[in-house]
Structures are given as structure tokens and as C-alpha cells.
Amino acid sequence: MSIKELLQELLDSNNSKLVMTEKQLNIICAAIELFSEKGFAATSTSEIAKRAGVAEGTIFRHYKTKKDLLLAIPDCIVELQISKTFFTQLDNILEQPNVSFEKFLRAVISNRKDFASSNMVLIKIIFQELPFHPDLRLKMTESLFKPAKEKLVKIIDYFKDQGQIKDLPSKTIVNFIFTTIFGYMFTCYIAQLDLDWNIEKETENLVRYIMNGLCKPASPTSEFS
Amino acid sequence: MSIKELLQELLDSNNSKLVMTEKQLNIICAAIELFSEKGFAATSTSEIAKRAGVAEGTIFRHYKTKKDLLLAIPDCIVELQISKTFFTQLDNILEQPNVSFEKFLRAVISNRKDFASSNMVLIKIIFQELPFHPDLRLKMTESLFKPAKEKLVKIIDYFKDQGQIKDLPSKTIVNFIFTTIFGYMFTCYIAQLDLDWNIEKETENLVRYIMNGLCKPASPTSEFS
Amino acid sequence: MSIKELLQELLDSNNSKLVMTEKQLNIICAAIELFSEKGFAATSTSEIAKRAGVAEGTIFRHYKTKKDLLLAIPDCIVELQISKTFFTQLDNILEQPNVSFEKFLRAVISNRKDFASSNMVLIKIIFQELPFHPDLRLKMTESLFKPAKEKLVKIIDYFKDQGQIKDLPSKTIVNFIFTTIFGYMFTCYIAQLDLDWNIEKETENLVRYIMNGLCKPASPTSEFS
Amino acid sequence: MSIKELLQELLDSNNSKLVMTEKQLNIICAAIELFSEKGFAATSTSEIAKRAGVAEGTIFRHYKTKKDLLLAIPDCIVELQISKTFFTQLDNILEQPNVSFEKFLRAVISNRKDFASSNMVLIKIIFQELPFHPDLRLKMTESLFKPAKEKLVKIIDYFKDQGQIKDLPSKTIVNFIFTTIFGYMFTCYIAQLDLDWNIEKETENLVRYIMNGLCKPASPTSEFS
DNA sequence: TATGAATGAGGCTTCATTCAT
DNA sequence: AATGAATGAAGCCTCATTCAT
């Protein structure tokens, strides 16, 4: 499903604080598409208007500046409840009896794959523009990164309590997982480096890599500090 | 050392195919700095000229278009022999007797840290602009990514032969390592997300994570497929 | 009293040909304020709408174009009977026995001071926009300047008949008086040049200046031609 | 002579700090003409470019913003040494033996007339825009109004010492003279109110008005306070 | 070779005005 | 009558690039 369909559905469901006219939806979706394709700075408002099928002036009735369009994207992400569904699904997993860390990891990653197809455009924008827009960074950190991290830390604590994973600081573990998965996504989807992977198999490998590292199991495992 | 000092040194040493006037050096360095700070599309040639201390027209005497400036950066990276020194250092490590995979990993990562200080600007540009410039992608793939991968695959093969690491496809392993380290770098340096890490300790943890994953060593380790 | 209060009062009194809804009053007053503050060309209709507390479209229901708003201001001035009250007051003065030219002058000037507080905004607009809008000039000339001049000429004739003032053409005298007082107002209120005058004293001096000029009274006064 | 010819002459004479290319001269002159005709806010940069015969972008190479064009006009006035020639001429008059205040006044006013023909455009702009641009007001006050006033005060002091004019504060007298002459100029040239005056005769009357006021000489002259 | 003035296309944004509701 | 979303022309300004010097 495209971003536009997702947002449309969200608006129709009246489950959201977002209030948007048809045209405003067209505008933000066109902006998302184009920012994702060409980058924020290389996209012109006239292009956005053309793709949205509105007059250029109409953009500025809804978003005071071009930058505001960029800063509206995090709101979409939040309202799309991407993280909420994400974590709801994780909660469901955790509620099952005898959930292993492996099961959890696989859920995270496969979740990310569903993600990718529809939300990759959003993720691309966010990560491409983060380095250049401190205000975007702030907004994302406050409304997404921080809450997500806290939630994940709790989950990791749970597995640590169960003795399923090593006794590293939970924050460190979260960073590792995030970092690994993100690096993977970047390589595939953002940098578009052709990795000609068999996705199924590689995902499997990725899970095992995160769980068991690269060492031979027999090798004497030095404890983490 | 700044990029400019590195390039200056390189030119003085006559060890390079690069032939540059003083001014040309100023130009490319100014461009590198600015592209890194603000992104390619958001940097103007007049800004570059100002920082380089040359007239605007001078830029276009050396580089036909602004884009050519961007495409000249990979050449700098190649000529700076960043990868060459990188791999030379790795070779040195491998030539030592009884080199462990752990030692190798630590070398790679600490290498990356030296890297960061002087070459991060280059890396930032490359990864930020890769998604938008297929020609840049092609150039980087041909002149750097492919050779680097091949070299790494050989190294990984060596450790596999030694029985130090798991029997996964070498390409997969290289991707894991690259992906993990890159994800880490991105989070810290490029997205500038504040991770308040104790770098020393975290590096140590990173090494162990790559080697041994996150599972408790006691847990029954399912074999990789 | 502000312009709005004056117009409100006028409308409530039913003594005027002006028929205005509450909103229309808000619009014209907002326009007057803003034209006075920033000039006609630099004021936007959206600003006017905002200050008037109406929708942008509402303005154009009452005034076909922005220019029509400007051309409506002379009507306000006329309907506010500014000149009428002005001249009524003068008439009252003239009806008193033994009115001196000095008394008259002082009345004109102090009148102008009361004026200033509430009507300066209107005067500012008129004089600032006169040079650029021939239609405004025409309207003002026909409906205000000409009748005012005629009235003043009659008054001056009266004083000339009484032998109180010199035997110059009445039109010339009116021009002098107008010109002197207007110059003074412009310097103080419109150009906002800070003259740090003691207003009371300077007004006194202004009266005497107009009456007796700057020459020492003893000096041989050459007759006017 | 037009402003352009005056500036051209000035530049050719190398007697000025102003350094201007041919195009820059065209731009500032076009701007002066148009600001004078239509007002600053109602003049577009594309119009200026067209009249100056340059590309629109060229304007912004010489003047960072449209407002800077406006603020450059006082510099032209200063460099044209309008005030300098003005005061030099006055000095010449004062150096003659037995100069009367009358002679001086007549010189001021006739001077203003020469002025009018070529410099009225500049004066129009200044006075029309003063109310809206505090920075313009500041610049004009510092570089012209203040020095001019000081000079005039000295001159007036001279005539007071000679016993030719009344013992009013010199500042007050200067204000009266300025105010009267300016009011006259405004009425004629700026508001373009048609006064159908015989200029020769009216100037004569203006001089006498300033000197002797409007009262019959026989009338008992009350002293100034 | 180096300059920097000049260009004009195009960028972002504002504006007066219209029109369906 | 009133609204305010929509428009597209126009406004100010920046840009990459050219070219005479």
C-alpha cells in the first residue's frame, strides 16, 4: 500500500488528530514522494504542486514554508501509528507463552519488511535529512526515537530477566539491534547498493548473526564486560 | 589532519596521478567541506568559491559543472589511498602469527575510528549523495566497493579456513560486518543522534557482539543454515 | 477618539448617507489603520481581513478591488464631516464680536491639534497616496480641497475687509496658511522627524510667525506687491 | 539636467567616493525614477531592470536587496553634494557686504527652484518613504538633516546678531523657514495639487510673508514670547 | 590562467481576486 | 451575506554558468 492510501485510510477512519482536505493530502504525499526520490533540497515546490495536481500557491496555504512540509512528515509518521502498531505487534508476541528472543527478533525484522514496502519512503526522507535539519532531528527524537528506545529497553530487560540474552546494558543491546537492522536497511534500500541477496535466507542469517555472532560456537566465548 | 592537509601532502609527494594547482585544491576541499556540512544540493557554487578564496568563474575552469565537483570526490578518495592504507594495515595484521579474528575485528574498528576524524567528511558526502546520483553510485561501486569487498572476502575466507568463524557465505559475513559498523557510524556521526556512549567500552562490546552475538553462551546455539 | 469610534457614532446617529454593516466598518477601519501605518501598496488585503476580523473574501463583497478601499476613504472623511465641524467652529469664532485674526489663527491651529489625535491617520493616508493616485487626487480636490479653499477665502476676505491683514490675494494667503501649517504637521507627524519642540510655546510662536513674519518690527517693512 | 546626467558627470569628474559601473548607474537611476513615479512599494525589481536595460539578477549583484536600493539613494544625494553646493552658494551670499536677510531668503528659495527641476525626484522619494522606513529616516537625519540644520542655525545667528531678525530661538526660526518652504514644495510638486500660481510673483510674496507675516504693518505688533 | 560582472531561468513565497459552499 | 480554499500571476531573490577582460 502506498503512503497515500495509508493516509487516506487513516483520515477516513476518523481515528486521527490529523485533519486534511483532499488537496492537502495530495500535497503532503507528493512532497513525501519527491523528497524521497530527489532529496529535500533538490525538490522544488513547483514540482510538488504539479505532482499533487494543485496550484503552487495552494501549497503555501497549508504549509507556510517548504521546510514546514518537511517537518510535517514526522507528524504523518506518528499519526500513521507506525510505531504503535509496531509495538502492539511486539506486545502480542511477548504475551504468548514461551516466547524466545529468537522469535522476537524474527518478528522485529519481518515487521520491518512489511514496513519497508510502504514506509520506506518515509524512513528514507528522515534519515537523509536528519544530518541537515536539527529541528527535524529534535522532533524525531522527542516523538519517536526516545519513546521507541524506552519501550525496547523494557523488552530487552524482559529477556535478560529470563536469562535468554547476555548481561549487557540494555541500552547497548538496543543500539546493537537498531544499528544492525538499520545498517542492513540502508545498504539495501537507501544507498541502493545491489546486494543480490536471497532475502528469506539472509533474514534468517541476520537473526542468527545477532543472536550468536560470527564465532564458532565451540570457541571459548569471552564474557562481555 | 584535515582533508586539505592530506591532499596537500599527497600532491607534494608526487605519488599520485592527481595534478592540481593550489587553487584547484582549495576548490575541491571547500566543496568537500560544504557538501558535507549542508549537502550537495543545498551548497551553492558561490559559497564554494568564497570558502576556497577564488572567483566563481575559476571553479568552472576546473570543473565543467557543479556535479563534476561531486564526481571528483571519489577520485580524491581513491587517490588518498584510503582503502589502500586501510588494507595494507589489515595485511600487516594478518601477517602476524596467530592472528585471531578478534584482533582483526578490533583493527578494523579502531582503524575506522582514525578514519572518522579525517575522512568522515568524505564518507558523509558519499553516503548522503549515493541515493540521488546513480553515476556517483556507479563510480563508487567500481572503484571502491567492489575491490574492497573482494579483498574482505579473501580475508574472511582465511579466517574460515582457520576455523575461527562460522561457515556462512563469506559475502554474507562481509555484509554483516560492514552493515554493523556502518550502522554504528551512521548513528553516531551522520545522523548525529546523541548516543552518549563510552566509546572505549562500546567498541569492546561491539567487537564481542559481532563475534558472539547476544545469546547467552550456554544457550543451545542453533546452527546457521 | 479613534476613527472607528467616530465612524460608529456617526452610523448610530443616522445622520449620514453612509450605510455600513458592522463588518464593513471593521474593514474600512482596519484598512485606514494599515494604510496609514505601512502605506497602501505595502498593505495586503489578507492583513486587512485579519485585523478587521473577517474573511478575505468578505472584503471583496464590499469593495470590488483593493483600490476601491482607498477611494472609499475620502467618503469617510467627507461623511465624518470633519471639514464641516471644522468650519462650523470657525464660523462660531467669527460670529463673536471683535474677533481678531490672531484668535482665528489660534483656533485653526489648536483645531488642528485635536484633529491630529483622531484624524491624523486619515490625513497621513491622503497625503502619502495623493502623488500616486490621480483618481484619489481628483476626488479629494472636488469634495474637500476646493470647498475648503472657497470657505477659507471668504474668511480671509472678511479679515481683509476689517483691515486686519495685508492686502495680498486671498488665495495666496490661504496657500501660505495651509502651507505653513501643513509643513509643520508633516515634519512632526508624518515624516516623524524628531523636533523636540515644546508644543505649547511653539504653537504660540507659529501664530506670531504667520502674523508678523521674522523681521524685526522696527525694520522698514517693504510692502507686498 | 536629469539625475542620470548629474551622476554621470560626477563619476566622470572623479571627485566622488562613489564607484559605479555603467550598469550600476543605470540601475540606481532607473530605481530613482520609478520610486519617484510610483513609490517604493509599488515598484517591482523587474520593472527597474527593464528600465535600466539589465537583467533582473544584475540588480542584486550590486544591491543585495530592493531595500538597499532605496537606502543607496541618500548616498547619491550626499555625493551629488547637493547640500554642499547649496551651502556654498549661501556662504557666497553671506560674504557679500551688506547682505540682508531678505537677500538671503530669496537666495534660499531660488536655489530651491533650480533644485526642483533636477533633484525633485530625489526629494520626492525621500519624503514619501520617510514615514515607512526608520532606517532611511536615520540615514537622512545623520547625513543631511542634522548638518544642514546646524549650518542654518549659524546663519540665522548671524542675522540675529545683525539685528535683522527677531529674537526667537534660532532652531525655531530654522524650523519655520524649512517648514514653510517645504510645505510649499509639497503642495506644488509632490501632492501635485494644481495651484496655478505665477511662480515669480508668488516667490516674491513668499519671501515677504516669511519676513513680515500677514499682519498689517501698522497693527500693534505683539512681541514673541 | 583567473576573474567577477552579467545573465535569465527558476526558486520560494505573497498577493489580489474568485467561487463553491 | 459570509466564508476561506484555491488560484496563478507576479514579487524578490539565488543559482549555475558564461564570457569579455
SS (H, E, C) chain D: CCHHHHHHHHHHCCCCCCCCCHHHHHHHHHHHHHHHHHCCCCCCHHHHHHHHCCCHHHHHHHCCCHHHHHHHHHHHHHHCCHHHHHHHHHHHHHHCCCCCHHHHHHHHHHHHHHHHHHHHHHHHHHHHHHHHCHHHHHHHHHHHHHHHHHHHHHHHHHHHHCCCECCCCHHHHHHHHHHHHHHHHHHHHHCCCCCCCCHHHHHHHHHHHHHHCCECCCCCCCCCC
Predicted confidence at residue D168, as pLDDT, reads 83
* φ and ψ at residue C63, rounded to 5 degrees: -130, 115
The CA-CA-CA angle for residues D142, D148, D154, to 5°, reads 130
Q: Rounded to whole angstroms, what are the CA distances from A79 to A73, A142, C27, D72?
A: 10, 14, 39, 52
Cβ distance of D214 and C217 shorter than 8 Å: no
Task: Using a pLDDT cut of 70, give the percent of chain A over it.
Answer: 84
Identify whether the C-beta of residue B70 lies closer than 8 Å to the C-beta of residue B137.
no
What's the pLDDT score for residue A219?
41
Please state which of the ranges A56-60, A105-109, A139-143, C82-86 shows the lowest mean pLDDT: C82-86
Distance from C-alpha of C78 to C-alpha of D205, rounded to nearest angstrom = 32
| Protein residue closest via CA to C1' of F6 | A58
Touch between chain B and chain C: 3 or more Cβ pairs under 8 Å: no
Q: Which residues of chain C neighbour D182 with C-beta distances below 8 Å?
A: 183, 186-187
Mean of pLDDT values over C82-99:
76
Q: Do A215 and B166 touch (CB under 8 A)?
A: yes
The per-type count for chain A, helices as H runs and strands as E runs, is 11, 0
Q: Give residue B221's pLDDT.
A: 45
Q: How far is A13 from chain B, CA to nearest CA, in Å? A: 34
Say yes or no: A216 contacts chain B, CB-CB below 8 A: yes
pLDDT per residue as tens digits for the range A95-110: 888 888 888 888 877 7
Contact check, Cβ <8 Å, D176/C141 = no
Q: Which nucleotide is closest to the Cα of C55 by its C1'?
A: F3
C1' (E4) to CA (B56) span, angstroms: 7
Please name the helix (run of DSSP H) or strand (run of DSSP E) that holds residue B94, with its range, or none.
Answer: helix B82-95
- The stretch B192-216 carries a mean pLDDT of 74
Pick from C166, C182, C210: CB nearest D216 = C166
Contact B213 A217 (CB under 8 A): no
Kindly report the bases of strand E lying within 7 A of a protein C-beta atom. 1-20
The nearest alpha carbon in chain D to C182 belongs to D183
Nearest-neighbour CA in chain A from B79: distance (Å)? 23
Q: Is B179 on the interface with A (CB under 8 A)?
A: yes
Give the minimum alpha-carbon distance from D142 to chain C in angstroms, rounded to a whole number: 12
- CB < 8 Å from A in window 115-134 of B: 124, 127-128, 130-132
Do chain C and chain D touch with ≥3 beta carbon pairs under 8 Å? yes
Nearest one of C174, C146, C142, C147 to C158, comparing CA atoms: C174
Closest CA to C21 of C52, C51, C50, C66: C52
- Integer distance in angstroms from CA A106 to C1' E14? 52
What is the arithmetic mean of pLDDT over D194-215? 74
pLDDT by residue (tens digit) across B135-186?
999 999 888 888 888 888 888 898 888 888 888 888 888 888 888 887 877 7
Residue D54 pLDDT grade (very low, low, confident, very high; cuts 50, 70, 90): very high
Q: What is the pLDDT of residues D145-161, one digit of tens each?
A: 888 888 888 888 988 88
Task: Please answer whether residues B124 and B70 qualify as being in contact, where contact means their C-beta atoms are separated by less than 8 angstroms.
Answer: no
Q: What letter represents residue C192's amino acid?
A: Q
In chain A, where are the structural domains located?
Answer: 3-72, 81-212
User: Which CATH entry fits the domain spanning D3-71: 1.10.287.470, 2.120.10.60, 3.40.50.2300, 1.10.357.10?
Assistant: 1.10.357.10
Of B141, B168, B219, the CB nearest to A205: B168
CB contact under 8 A, A131 and B131: no
Is-contact C33 C51, C-beta < 8 A?
yes
Note the pLDDT tens digit of each residue in A181-199: 878 777 776 666 665 666 6
The nearest alpha carbon in chain D to C214 belongs to D211
D152 Cα to chain C: minimum distance (Å)? 15
How large is the C-alpha radius of gyration of chain C? 20
As a whole-number percent, the residues of chain B with pLDDT over 70 amount to 84
pLDDT at B136: 94
CB contacts < 8 A, C to D, total: 185
Q: Which of A121, A210, A214, A225 to mutate to test the interface with B (most CBs of B within 10 A)?
A: A214
CATH homologous superfamily of C3-72 equals: Homeodomain-like (1.10.10.60)
First to last CA, chain B: 45
pLDDT band at D219 (very low <50, low <70, confident <90, very high): very low
Confidence band, pLDDT 50/70/90 cuts, at residue B225: very low
**B118-B121-B127-B130 Cα dihedral, nearest 10 degrees:** -120
User: What does the pLDDT look like over B78-121, one tens digit per residue?
Assistant: 887 666 677 777 788 878 888 888 888 888 777 666 666 667 88
F chain positions with any atom within 7 Å of a protein CB: 1-20
Interatomic CA distance for residues D178 and D192, integer angstroms: 19
Task: Give chains near B: 3+ CB pairs under 8 A.
Answer: A
pLDDT of amino acid B174: 86
Band of residue B196 on the pLDDT scale cut at 50, 70, 90 = low
Among B65-79, B201-215, C106-120, the least confident range: C106-120
Q: What angle do CA D5, D9, D11 make, to 5 degrees?
A: 120
Side-chain-side CA neighbours of residue C159 (13 Å): 29
Mutate to test the interface with D, among C133, C159, C179 (most CBs of D within 10 A): C179
- The third-level CATH classification (topology) of the domain covering B3-70 is Arc Repressor Mutant, subunit A (1.10.10)
How high is the pLDDT of residue B65?
A: 97
Q: Tens digits of per-residue pLDDT, C9-37?
A: 888 877 777 788 889 999 999 999 999 99
The mean pLDDT value for D189-217 works out to 72
Task: Evaluate whether D192 touches C130 at the Cβ level (below 8 Å).
Answer: yes
What CATH topology corresponds to A81-212?
Answer: Tetracycline Repressor; domain 2 (1.10.357)
Q: What is the residue-averaged pLDDT of chain A?
A: 83
pLDDT at D225: 44
CA distance linking residue C117 with residue D41, whole number of Å: 27
Q: Can you give the pLDDT at residue A44?
A: 97
Contacts of B128 in chain A (CB under 8 A): 128, 131
Interface check for B143 against chain A (CB to CB < 8 A): the answer is no
Cβ within 8 Å of A, B 35-94 = 38-39, 41-42
